[in-house]
Amino acid sequence: MEKEINFRIATEQDLDKIVEMLADDVLGRKRERYEQPLPDSYIEAFRAISSDPNNELVVACHGDEIIGVQQITFTPYITYQGGWRATIEGVRTSSASRGKGIGTELINWGINRAKERGCHLVQLTTDKERPDALRFYEKLGFKATHEGLKLKLK
């Protein structure tokens, strides 16, 4: 790619493209609703994230085009002597941009942001149905030391 990849906090104008990327995925298409107009629930969540100093929705841009997204949550915990952690979630790159190292740049950006925020740990969970994602994160230095458990509520 000729143009540099830039990272910035998402604006509400980016939300359409973000939802499109999240829906364009083998697991995402089962659970997202990418429609026009965008369902209100996405807009409400966007505003809740944007107004929370401990949540950052980050987009990767190639020129004006949004090609990746991730959400980083910064959380203070009592454990580890009162240490802060960064949790990364909702990572996606646009299908046209896959295999070009954008995901690696995106996560490395998140790791640096976690350091800036004074976190001692970056954590995330990855669906066991995505073995490629597990290898991707392990290559970046993450260790799969934990089981990730989910309980769906009615």
CA dist 121 → 22, 48, 87, 110 (Å):
25, 24, 8, 11
Question: CA torsion, points 76, 77, 83, 84, in degrees to nearest 10?
Answer: -30
Interacting span for a second copy (CB under 8 A) from 1-9, 32-40, 60-68, 93-101: 32-40
- Work out whether 147 is an interface residue with a second copy (CB under 8 A): yes
Terminal CA-CA length for the chain: 45
Contacts with a second copy by CB under 8 A: the residue count is 68
Any contact of residue 22 with a second copy (CB under 8 A)? yes
Nearest to 65 by CA among 91, 29, 102: 102
66 touching a second copy, by CB under 8 A: no
**Closest approach of a second copy to the CB of residue 51, in Å:** 10
Q: For residue 69, give the H/E element and its range.
A: strand 65-76
Interface with a second copy includes 77 (CB under 8 A)?
yes
* Tally of residues, the chain: 154
**What's the token pair of residue 110?**
């998140």
Site string for a second copy, 98-127 (x = CB under 8 A): -------------x--xx---xxxxxxxxx
Residues near a second copy (CB under 8 A): 15, 18-19, 22, 28, 31-33, 39, 41-46, 48-49, 52, 54-55, 57, 69, 71, 73, 75-84, 87, 89-90, 111, 114-115, 119-129, 134, 137-138, 140-153
